[in-house]
């Protein structure tokens, strides 16, 4: 789980910057993104996750299996960077 405080008042406000930051960190379709209301669903080879807005924070959760679990530190770094950039 990764939790980052944000000044955005809702997921709707954060959505454009979050989409752009994730596209920058995961270019070329490495990470599939799908909006389900105010929940951003993420998937990739061996990975399923989500990002939600709760109480002034963006909260990312993921379940990693091989091959994604072998790259856990890199995936955590990229998701953290995207969340921080989206909240700036």
88 pLDDT band, cuts 50/70/90, is confident
Express each pLDDT in 42-53 by its tens digit. 999 999 999 999
Check if the beta carbon of residue 11 is closer than 8 Å to that of residue 87. Answer: no
Which domains does the chain possess? 2-87 (3.30.310.80)
- What's this model's pTM, rounded to 2 decimal places? 0.92
Residues with Cβ within 8 Å of 3's Cβ and at least 6 positions away in sequence, in order, are 57, 58, 59, 60
Express each pLDDT in 6-31 by its tens digit. 999 999 999 999 999 999 999 988 89
């Amino acid at each position: 789980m990764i939790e980052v405080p944000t000044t955005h008042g809702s997921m709707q406000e954060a959505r454009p910057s979050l989409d752009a930051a994730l596209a920058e960190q995961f270019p070329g379709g490495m990470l599939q993104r799908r909006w389900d209301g105010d929940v951003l669903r993420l998937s990739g080879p061996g990975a399923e996750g989500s990002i939600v807005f709760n109480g002034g924070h963006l909260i990312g959760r993921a379940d990693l299996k091989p091959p994604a679990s072998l790259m856990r530190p890199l995936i955590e770094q990229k998701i953290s960077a995207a969340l921080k950039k989206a909240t700036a």
